[in-house]
Structure formats: structure tokens, C-alpha cells
């Protein structure tokens, strides 16, 4: 499996990968380490991530953000787009109104996540990921998020709570400083764009345990932005009479941007200037804001931060003086007042800080979990024990055998995860078990134990054992059921009795309410594939159109400069006419042409322009190729004349061969160059740079083996000298006879 972790945020998404003995955060196509969690719709195609952000202000009603909060199903006043009562989003796409579900929209964005991973890792095999999620997500919301990943071509092998992922990153990186016996207690405060999560985690050298988690699903950085934006809008209305909050969407968007910018500056400074552009026609607004005034505005939000942290502390039941540190995660915890409220709970004995990257810790933790799960990646083992955040109750109808037993909280808050529980029933089959959240009463699903087509009574002393499991992904499953009957059997000659348990499997069918069926999921995947193919076609068509436009301007500029002397007047006139015609077509009839039409138009132009381009390129490259060839000839001539000890073993015949090869090449080059000099500049070249380079390669192939010929070994030279001194061999005998 691929070793990829994804921090799916409401505002931005961060992707991390385990490689090269570490964790790297992947940059997107514009080299940003975080990708905007946006999906936008246009007349022809969709825009995902960075392209969606760049066109957001001009297409507010068709740019869908807050993707993670869409899974909550509630109407959100922060959105400029239209959200229908059933949770679907209405947009204009390809000239018509279309509605998309949260699963479809998130699936579109996950397509972008997969594309970013594939480009960075240079592999199309990125499928398996570990993804973060809010601790307050229900089973149906978690299932929908996993289905969205599948629509985007990814398989989520595990979901990790945001705070749990950050804690895993902390535990793995701090393992050398941790003790095997004594735990280190750390408070994690994670506040991002739209939610707050506070977790208390105990760390050992090889494991971690989440002791408690408290959440506020509706408190994040955007709430601080809104408080500041409303204050600025109130001031604008009092001084100018303009109600910015009722103004067009673009004006409200600019107000939010100004408020967000001011919030960030006030996190580091005591005062800032706030400038809102174009609140009305040709009218801007500027004012000043202090940190004290900002903190007064957000007092009610700060109380909620303190209350959430206090709830986590009370649930964990760990004295505050036993805590080692307070770790801050997310962008909104940079507000000094937030830090102060958390420190107040510890009487300022501990000051909140961050030893990790606040924006990337969750993604890095997910990547570490992926590395631990991956069979192809070697990682130091580190055990993770999470805890139940939303307690789960199971209920059933009473029977004569179980008149008072109606329900039970099977997985209470704080229960360790993963966890398996066995429920015992003494009732006839089949029967139903209803599953719901204990605090809210919201139903989760229903399990049918036994077969409706085969009702059966329990045998005497029989018990139905139902196995329920909560995974580390915080998802409940009712995995199996068995009828267990205790029987006494006689063993041995002495007639000793022994009790044995006879087990019979019972079918179980568990259905999560709101879960997407396989058929619907397959349909969504097919629809996403079609839209992705259309996006690619539109992008390729734009590239083809840009190629035509680029070629027109490039050739027109070259014809007035370097190419002018290499083309006849007739060629230049014909090419300029073709360029003018193509330009007119491009901005009139060809404004919305097909990819093949643009490619055909470019082919027409290159058929006229490329011959001139080739002449120009040859005129520039031919002298360089000739210089390379003559330089090589000079090297080999020097070698043929070199009598130094290094080349003393080269025979006269070989030296003569090298000299002749150099003469032949020089003669060929001189002859061809003379013919080329007599040609007109626009005639077809007699000699090309490629031909010259081929001659150079041929010369190298001939001479290099001679130049690299090894010296004979000393023993061979001695034998040769001895043979000459004794006068043996036909040559010495012949010489003696001649004398």
C-alpha cells in the first residue's frame, strides 16, 4: 500500500507521505503545502483546489467550500452557495442547474488529492490512505466520508481523530524522551477553521492512550472572523449608512477577507489597520482595530474554549499538576486570548506551546499510522489506544425470558479502542438490536440476529452470544453471533462428567442508517469518472488553443528578426497571411472550437513555419557542430603524433590509420561546407548539424578503441625481447640469410 496521510480540513487539506526514513508534506501544483478544500463549477468544467481558489471571488455562488461541515447536514450561513434542505448543494454547471451531495463534492476534491499524490510520487498506484476526521462524526458520517474517498479513487484503510493523529505524531517523534513505565500526560488543543477538539493523551515509550476527548463542533477560526466582520460592518453602517452584511456576495466576501487578515495580524500585534475595498461604487473603508477590542468581541467564544478544555480535564480525571505540557494544533490557537484561557486552567503553571508544526502535525500523524499499517514500509511499532467519544447504546424488545432487560450502554465514553464486547441473550431467534448514541438518542443502525425465514427457539441452557466491535476508526460493527449450549458429557472409564460448550453460528445482518448502497456508490464513481474525463478534455483543449496562440506570436516575432534572412519574400507573405487568418479565427469562429480543430490549425501553421525554423536552427547549430568535429579531429591528430611513454605501445600502422581517418573527415567537412556556402539561405541545407554529429560519432567509434588499447604486460615485453636476442623466428633467420 502507499504510505500517505491526509488531513482533510474544512479550509485546507494537507497531504503527507512517509519516505526516505522520514515524513514529507507534499506540495501542490503551485508549491503550496496546503491545498484549499474547494470545488468550483464553471460553464465547461470543474475547478478543484488551487484553481477553485483563484476564481472564487468571481464565481462565489458556484464555489463550494466547508466540505467537511457538509457531512453534518445542517444549514450553514457562512456559505455563499445554496444548500438545499436535504443537504445537497445547488450550482450552475455546464449551463444548467445541478445538485450534488456531500459525498459527491468531497469525492471530487479527493480526486484532486489523488492527482497531487500521484504527481509527487510519480506513480498512479496511490490508492490507500489514512485520513483524519473530527471526533464528533457519527458512524453514518464516517461511512459517508469513506465513501467520498472511494469516489475519488482512494481507499481509506483507517480513520483517525484529528487529535489522535497529532498525538501519534508527538509520541513517535518524542519516543526517545519517553519512559516505559511512567506516563507523560499531555493536553492537546486543536482548533482549526470550523471546530475545536481537546484531547488528553498519556504517552509511554512504545504506546499511547487517549484518556478523554471533548469537542465543540461549531467553534473555529471562522467564528472569530465573523465576530470581527460583524463589528466592522456595524461601524461601517454607523458612519456611512451602508449595510455591508446585506450587500452583494462579493462585498461580503471582501469584508470576510479583511476580517481574517486583521485577526491574523492582531494575533501578533496590539493594533492593526483594517481596509475593506469597494463597499460601494468607488468607495473603500478604512479603520483601526486593537487587540483589546477584538478580545472583547470574542469573549463568548473564549468561554466556550475554556469550557471544552475543562470538560476534557474532568473526564480524564488527572490532576493538573501531573501534566507535562500543553500542545497547540491548528491555525486558530495562535490567538493569544485562546492560549491564555487554556493556561488559566493550569494556573499558568504550564504555558501552551507547540513543539510540532501546528498546521501539519495531523497529516504527519496520519502518514505515520499509514507507515505502521503498511507491509512494505519498515516502521518502529507504536501502539495506539483511542477512546470512545460518543457513547453507544444498544436496545431490544423485552421478552418473557428477559422482561426487564431492554437496553445497555455497551461502549461508554472513555472506553478504550479498539474494543470488542459480547452481549448475551436468552430469547428465540430472530430478534432485532437497535443501535443509537446514548447522549443524543440519534439512531445509528439495526442488527437482525438470526434468519427471518427460519425462526427457532433456544435449546435448554442455550445463550445467544452477539459480538460487537468498535474499531480504531470509531466505527461500530456487529460481526457475528453464536448459540452457545453447555452440555455435560461422560469421559473415561470412571464415568467422569465434563461440561463442554457447543457453538453454532447464527447469521447477522447489520445495517447502518444512511449508508450508501454499493449500487449507488458504483454510480457515483462512474459519474465522477465521466466528469474527470471531461475536465481533462477541457484542459487539453485549452492547452491546444494556447499552443496555437503561442505559435502565432512566436513566429510573427521571429519573422521580423532572426528568420527574415532565411525565407523568401513569397514564403514570408504566405506565412504572415496564414498567421493573420489563424489569429482572426482564434478569436472569432475558433473561440470555442474542439481540441482536434486547434490541433489541425497548429498543423497548418507549422507546415509553413517549420521549414524556416529548421533553416534558422541549422544556421545556428551547424557552426557549433563543425567546431565540435574539428576539436575532436585535433585531439586525435595530437594522439597520432604523441610518442610519449603513455602511447609508446601504439603501432605505426594504427597511428597511420588514425591520421587517415582524420584527413577523411576534414576533407568531407571542407567539401560539404563549401557546397553549403554556395547555397541560398532558403535552399534546403546540403549539410546539417546532425550529419556532422554523426561523422563525429563515427570517428570516435573508429579511433577510441585504438586510443584505449592497453599496454602489453611486462612479462610479454620480456619474452618478446628474449626471442629477438636469440635470433629465433622466421624474421631473424631471414635477416641473417640476407646478410
Record the cell numbers describing residue 619, joined without a space.
544556421
Q: Render pLDDT for 546-563 as a digit per residue (tens, 0 to 9).
A: 999 999 999 998 888 878
Record the cell numbers describing residue 339, joined without a space.
492560549
Record the cell numbers describing residue 51, joined without a space.
484553481
pLDDT surpassing 50 at residue 173: yes
Q: Render pLDDT for 387-413 as a digit per residue (tens, 0 to 9).
A: 999 999 999 988 776 766 688 999 999
For residues 309-332, average pLDDT = 95
For residues 206-230, average pLDDT = 95
3-state secondary structure at position 509? strand
The set of residues, in sequence order, having a beta carbon less than 8 Å from that of 407 and lying 6+ positions away, is 393, 394, 395, 396
Q: Which domain holds residue 719?
A: 711-739
On whether both 447 and 497 belong to a single domain, the answer is yes
CATH number of the domain enclosing 412: 2.60.34.10
pLDDT band, residue 451 (cuts 50/70/90): confident
Q: What is the DSSP letter of 403?
A: S
Q: What is the pLDDT of residue 725?
A: 43
Q: What is the pLDDT of residue 124?
A: 62
Cα–Cα distance between 708 and 695 in angstroms, integer? 20
Q: What is the pLDDT of residue 716?
A: 52
Q: What is the pLDDT of residue 273?
A: 95
On whether both 166 and 205 belong to a single domain, the answer is no
**Closest to 192 measured CA to CA, from 329, 73, 308:** 329
On whether both 268 and 292 belong to a single domain, the answer is yes
For residues 254-272, average pLDDT = 95
pLDDT band, residue 460 (cuts 50/70/90): confident
Q: How many CB atoms lie within 10 A of CB 310?
A: 16
User: Could you identify the residue written with the cell 477512546?
Assistant: 387
Look at the chain and report how many structural domains it folds into: 5
> What is the β-pairing status of strands 4-8 and 128-133?
parallel
Mean pLDDT for the chain? 90
Q: What is the pLDDT of residue 429?
A: 87
Residue 527 in any domain: the answer is: no
Domain C-terminal end among 450, 484, 516: 516
Residue 489 in any domain: the answer is: yes
pLDDT surpassing 80 at residue 736: no
Residue 483 Cα to chain centre, angstroms: 47
Record the cell numbers describing residue 373, joined without a space.
499499517
pLDDT band, residue 502 (cuts 50/70/90): confident
Overall size of the chain counted in residues: 739
Residue 36 in any domain: the answer is: yes
pLDDT surpassing 50 at residue 18: yes
Q: What is the DSSP letter of 522?
A: H
Residue 286 in any domain: the answer is: yes
Cα–Cα distance between 29 and 79 in angstroms, integer? 26
pLDDT band, residue 732 (cuts 50/70/90): very low
On whether both 569 and 669 belong to a single domain, the answer is yes
**Phi, psi at 265, each rounded to 5°:** -70, -40
pLDDT band, residue 68 (cuts 50/70/90): very high
Cα–Cα distance between 417 and 390 in angstroms, integer? 12
> Are the beta carbons of 147 and 521 closer than 8 angstroms?
yes
On whether both 583 and 665 belong to a single domain, the answer is yes
pLDDT band, residue 733 (cuts 50/70/90): very low
On whether both 187 and 267 belong to a single domain, the answer is yes
User: Could you identify the residue written with the cell 445554496?
Assistant: 82
Residue 393 in any domain: the answer is: yes
Q: Render pLDDT for 635-694 as a digit per residue (tens, 0 to 9).
A: 999 999 988 888 888 899 999 999 999 999 999 999 999 998 888 888 888 899 999 999
CATH number of the domain enclosing 634: 1.20.1270.10
> What is the β-pairing status of strands 323-329 and 184-191?
parallel
Residue 209 in any domain: the answer is: yes
On whether both 169 and 84 belong to a single domain, the answer is yes
CATH number of the domain enclosing 197: 3.30.420.40
Cα–Cα distance between 417 and 655 in angstroms, integer? 83
On whether both 490 and 557 belong to a single domain, the answer is no
On whether both 508 and 632 belong to a single domain, the answer is no
On whether both 338 and 453 belong to a single domain, the answer is no
User: Could you identify the residue written with the cell 453534518?
Assistant: 72
- Which is higher by pLDDT, 685 or 634? 634
For residues 140-147, average pLDDT = 95
Residue 353 Cα to chain centre, angstroms: 27
pLDDT surpassing 80 at residue 168: yes
On whether both 3 and 41 belong to a single domain, the answer is yes
Domain C-terminal end among 481, 516, 551: 516
Dump the DSSP string for 458-500.
PPTTEEEEEEEEE-TTS-EEEEEEEEEEEEEEEETTTTEEEEE
**Closest to 250 measured CA to CA, from 56, 38, 39, 64:** 56
**Closest to 48 measured CA to CA, from 594, 528, 523:** 528
Residue 521 in any domain: the answer is: no
CA distances from 4 to 311, 358, 377 (A): 33, 19, 11
Residue 528 in any domain: the answer is: no
On whether both 375 and 418 belong to a single domain, the answer is no
User: Could you identify the residue written with the cell 554529429?
Assistant: 693
Q: What is the pLDDT of residue 715?
A: 60
The sign one gets for the Cα dihedral 679, 683, 687, 693 is positive
What is the pTM for the complete model shown? 0.86
- Which is higher by pLDDT, 715 or 10? 10
Q: In this structure, what is the dihedral angle of CA atoms 664, 665, 671, 676, given to the nearest 10 degrees?
A: 170
pLDDT band, residue 321 (cuts 50/70/90): very high
pLDDT band, residue 461 (cuts 50/70/90): confident
**Closest to 545 measured CA to CA, from 599, 494, 504:** 599
pLDDT band, residue 458 (cuts 50/70/90): confident
The set of residues, in sequence order, having a beta carbon less than 8 Å from that of 728 and lying 6+ positions away, is none
Q: Can you say whether residue 122 is alpha, beta or left, with left for phi > 0 and alpha for psi between -120 and 50 degrees? A: left
Dump the DSSP string for 406-472.
-EEEEE-TT-EESEEEEEEE-SPBPEEEEEEETTT--EEEEEEES-TTS-BPPPTTEEEEEEEEE-T
The percentage of the chain sitting over the pLDDT mark of 90, rounded to a whole number, equals 74
Amino acid at each position: 500500500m502507499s504510505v500517505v496521510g491526509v488531513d482533510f480540513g474544512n479550509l485546507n487539506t494537507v497531504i503527507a507521505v512517509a519516505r526516505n526514513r522520514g515524513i514529507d508534506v507534499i506540495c501542490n501544483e503551485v508549491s503550496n503545502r496546503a491545498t484549499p478544500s474547494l470545488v468550483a463549477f464553471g460553464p465547461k468544467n470543474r475547478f478543484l483546489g488551487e484553481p477553485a481558489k483563484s476564481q472564487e471571488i468571481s464565481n462565489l455562488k458556484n464555489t463550494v467550500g466547508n466540505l467537511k461541515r457538509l457531512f453534518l447536514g445542517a444549514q450553514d450561513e457562512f456559505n455563499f452557495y445554496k444548500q438545499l434542505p436535504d443537504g445537497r448543494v445547488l450550482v450552475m454547471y455546464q449551463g444548467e442547474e445541478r445538485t450534488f451531495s456531500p459525498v459527491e463534492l468531497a469525492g471530487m476534491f479527493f480526486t484532486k488529492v489523488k492527482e497531487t499524490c500521484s504527481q509527487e510520487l510519480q506513480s498512479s498506484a496511490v490508492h490507500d490512505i489514512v485520513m483524519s476526521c473530527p471526533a464528533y462524526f457519527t458512524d453514518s458520517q464516517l461511512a459517508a466520508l469513506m465513501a467520498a474517498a472511494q469516489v475519488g479513487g482512494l481507499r481509506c484503510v483507517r480513520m483517525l481523530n484529528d487529535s489522535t493523529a497529532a498525538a501519534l505524531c508527538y509520541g513517535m517523534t518524542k519516543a526517545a524522551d519517553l519512559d516505559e513505565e511512567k506516563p507523560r500526560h499531555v493536553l492537546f488543543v486543536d482548533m482549526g477553521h470550523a471546530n475545536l477538539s481537546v484531547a488528553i493523551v498519556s504517552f509511554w515509550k512504545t504506546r499511547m492512550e487517549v484518556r478523554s476527548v471533548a469537542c465543540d463542533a461549531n467553534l473555529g477560526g471562522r467564528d472569530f472572523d465573523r465576530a470581527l466582520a460583524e463589528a466592522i460592518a456595524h461601524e461601517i453602517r454607523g458612519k456611512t449608512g451602508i449595510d455591508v452584511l446585506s450587500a452583494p456576495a462579493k462585498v461580503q466576501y471582501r469584508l470576510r477577507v479583511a476580517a481574517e487578515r486583521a485577526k491574523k495580524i492582531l494575533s501578533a500585534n496590539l493594533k492593526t489597520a483594517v481596509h475593506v475595498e469597494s463597499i460601494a461604487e468607488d468607495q473603500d473603508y478604512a479603520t483601526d482595530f486593537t487587540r483589546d477590542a477584538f478580545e472583547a468581541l470574542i469573549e463568548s467564544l473564549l468561554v466556550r474554549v475554556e469550557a471544552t478544555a475543562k470538560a476534557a480535564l474532568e473526564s480524564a480525571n488527572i490532576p493538573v499538576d501531573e501534566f507535562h505540557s500543553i500542545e497547540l494544533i491548528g491555525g486558530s490557537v495562535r490567538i493569544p486570548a485562546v492560549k491564555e484561557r487554556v493556561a488559566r486552567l493550569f494556573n499558568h503553571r504550564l504555558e501552551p506551546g507547540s513543539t510540532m508544526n501546528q498546521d501539519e502535525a495531523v497529516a504527519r500523524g496520519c502518514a505515520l499510522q499509514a507507515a505502521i499499517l503498511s507491509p512494505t514500509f519498515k516502521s518502529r511499532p507504536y501502539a495506539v489506544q483511542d477512546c470512545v467519544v460518543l457513547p453507544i447504546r444498544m436496545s431490544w424488545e423485552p421478552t418473557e425470558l428477559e422482561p426487564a432487560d431492554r437496553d445497555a450502554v455497551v461502549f461508554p465514553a472513555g472506553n478504550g479502542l479498539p474494543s470488542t464486547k459480547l452481549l448475551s441473550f436468552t430469547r428465540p431467534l430472530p430478534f432485532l438490536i437497535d443501535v443509537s448514541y446514548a447522549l443524543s438518542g440519534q439512531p445509528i443502525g439495526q442488527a437482525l440476529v438470526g434468519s427471518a425465514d427460519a425462526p427457532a427457539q433456544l435449546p435448554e441452557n442455550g445463550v445467544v452470544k452477539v459480538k460487537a466491535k468498535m474499531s480504531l476508526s470509531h466505527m461500530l460493527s456487529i460481526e457475528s453471533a453464536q448459540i452457545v449450549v453447555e452440555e455435560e458429557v461422560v469421559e473415561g472409564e470412571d464415568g467422569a462428567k465434563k461440561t463442554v460448550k457447543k457453538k453454532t453460528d447464527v447469521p447477522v445482518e447489520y445495517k447502518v442508517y444512511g449508508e450508501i448502497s454499493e449500487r449507488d456508490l458504483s454510480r457515483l464513481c462512474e459519474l465522477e469518472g465521466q466528469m474527470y474525463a471531461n475536465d481533462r478534455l477541457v484542459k487539453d483543449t485549452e492547452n491546444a488553443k494556447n499552443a496555437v496562440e503561442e505559435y502565432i506570436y512566436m513566429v510573427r516575432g521571429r519573422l521580423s528578426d532572426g528568420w527574415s534572412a532565411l525565407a523568401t519574400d513569397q514564403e514570408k507573405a504566405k506565412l504572415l497571411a496564414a498567421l493573420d487568418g489563424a489569429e482572426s479565427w482564434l478569436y472569432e469562429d475558433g473561440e470555442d472550437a474542439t481540441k482536434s480543430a486547434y490541433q489541425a490549425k497548429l498543423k497548418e501553421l507549422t507546415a509553413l513555419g517549420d521549414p524556416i525554423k529548421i533553416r534558422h536552427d541549422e544556421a545556428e547549430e551547424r557552426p557549433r557542430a563543425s567546431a565540435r568535429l574539428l576539436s575532436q579531429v585535433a585531439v586525435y591528430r595530437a594522439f597520432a603524433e604523441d610518442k610519449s611513454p603513455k602511447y609508446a605501445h601504439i603501432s605505426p600502422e594504427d597511428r597511420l590509420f588514425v591520421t587517415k581517418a582524420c584527413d577523411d573527415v576534414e576533407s568531407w567537412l571542407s567539401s560539404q561546407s563549401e557546397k553549403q556556402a554556395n547555397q541560398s539561405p532558403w535552399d534546403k541545407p546540403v549539410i546539417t548539424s546532425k550529419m556532422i554529429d554523426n561523422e563525429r560519432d563515427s570517428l570516435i567509434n573508429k579511433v577510441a578503441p585504438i586510443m584505449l588499447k592497453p599496454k602489453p604486460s611486462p612479462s610479454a615485453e620480456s619474452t618478446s625481447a628474449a626471442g629477438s636476442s636469440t635470433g629465433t623466428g622466421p624474421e631473424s633467420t631471414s635477416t641473417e640469410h640476407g646478410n
